[in-house]
Amino acid sequence: MQTESYTIGDLVTRQSYNNDLLFRVESIIKEKAILHGEDIRLVADAPISDLVHVKNRELEKRKKKRKQQEEFSYRLFRQDYQLMKEKRDYQSTDGYDHTQFFQLPARVLHIDGDPSYLKKCIALYQRVGLQVHGIHMNEREMPFQIGPLLEKIQPDIIVITGHDSFSKNKGAKSDLRAYRHSKYFVETVREARKMTPHLDQLVIFAGACQSHFESLIRAGANFASSPSRINIHALDPVYIAAKIAYTPFMEKVHVWDALRNTLTGEKGMGGVETRGLLRTGMPYLEETLEEGESNVIVE
């Protein structure tokens, strides 16, 4: 029986896991493939013999289901956003419609270990109107690059993410060494907190699929994955950032309020209550960046 051939970028599933998740083939070493989740932030490996090519019909079916899930989450966020906006507008104008004001949106630095995920996240940042500086970087390099990036960009929110996975063959769930990239996320958070210790002056999300949640929170992250060591959706960090960015700085964001619009929920995400970052001022200035405009830089 002839073994089916695979190339970098092929979309596949794994027979041993009942073809549950869609992966991209990232690299092939001898008879083993390194796989990156197409929609979830998981890295895995599998023997070539375990892989199955995804046919066009099945791929379209999966894409349709994914799109429906993403649109549902986006609609929930828009409903939440509209309620926050109406409340802010009323408070800012003291109930008078004629009063004009401006708002200073938060700046986001998004560092991602996967260029495909970064592209998807940037599209969502644009859709929700957030300023973002997006950078693709290998997870191992993040701890060394975060300091210079903070000095250069001076963000209000940092998203530190990419790929991760837990391997029970390498240790217990409490052992950081049993995770593919969690230690690099932890080191990156720790380096960022050396520069800005206060949790409300710099808001940090860190982690990916199955990441060591407890270590990330102890290192100084406001929000992190994954409390139940489950997979998280590629777009979940954006919704966390957006909730913080559009909440007035005098109000707290309770953890559930930040999680309820994500596709993963509390099993995949967690954190600590955090102040919002949106500031309102007046009078209205023509040259002020309006809420809803998007300033996007990708490196």
29: left (phi over 0), alpha (psi -120 to 50) or beta: beta
Task: Please tell me what DSSP assigns to residue 177.
Answer: G
Residue 181 to residue 2: CA distance in whole angstroms: 36
The average pLDDT across 46-51 equals 89
Residue 46: pLDDT band (50, 70, 90) is confident
Is the predicted pLDDT of residue 185 greater than 60, yes or no? Answer: yes
Task: Please tell me what DSSP assigns to residue 2.
Answer: P
Tokens of 105: 């949106």
The average pLDDT across 52-76 equals 81
Residue that wins the pLDDT comparison between 111 and 70 = 111
Nearest partner of 176 among 229, 137, 132, 221, judged by Cα: 229
The average pLDDT across 177-202 equals 96
Rg (CA), the chain: 20
Burial class for 104, CB neighbours closer than 10 Å (0-12, 13-18, 19+): middle
pLDDT score recorded for residue 136: 96
pLDDT score recorded for residue 2: 44
Residue that wins the pLDDT comparison between 263 and 201 = 201
Nearest partner of 53 among 15, 11, 9, judged by Cα: 11
Which residue bears the tokens 């060494």? Answer: 177
Query: Domain segments of the chain: what residues?
Result: 11-54, 64-298
* Angle at alpha carbon of residue 153, lines to 147 and 155, rounded to 5°: 90
pLDDT score recorded for residue 284: 66
Is the predicted pLDDT of residue 93 greater than 60, yes or no? Answer: no
Q: Which fold has domain 64-298?
A: Rossmann fold (3.40.50)
The average pLDDT across 18-43 equals 85
pLDDT score recorded for residue 70: 75
For the ranges 81-85, 93-97, 174-178, 276-280, the maximum mean pLDDT occurs at 174-178
Residue 167 to residue 178: CA distance in whole angstroms: 6
Query: For the whole model, what pTM was predicted?
Result: 0.82
Residue that wins the pLDDT comparison between 38 and 275 = 275
The average pLDDT across 251-271 equals 90
pLDDT score recorded for residue 299: 62
Is the predicted pLDDT of residue 72 greater than 80, yes or no? Answer: no
Is the predicted pLDDT of residue 37 greater than 90, yes or no? Answer: no
Residue 197 to residue 184: CA distance in whole angstroms: 19
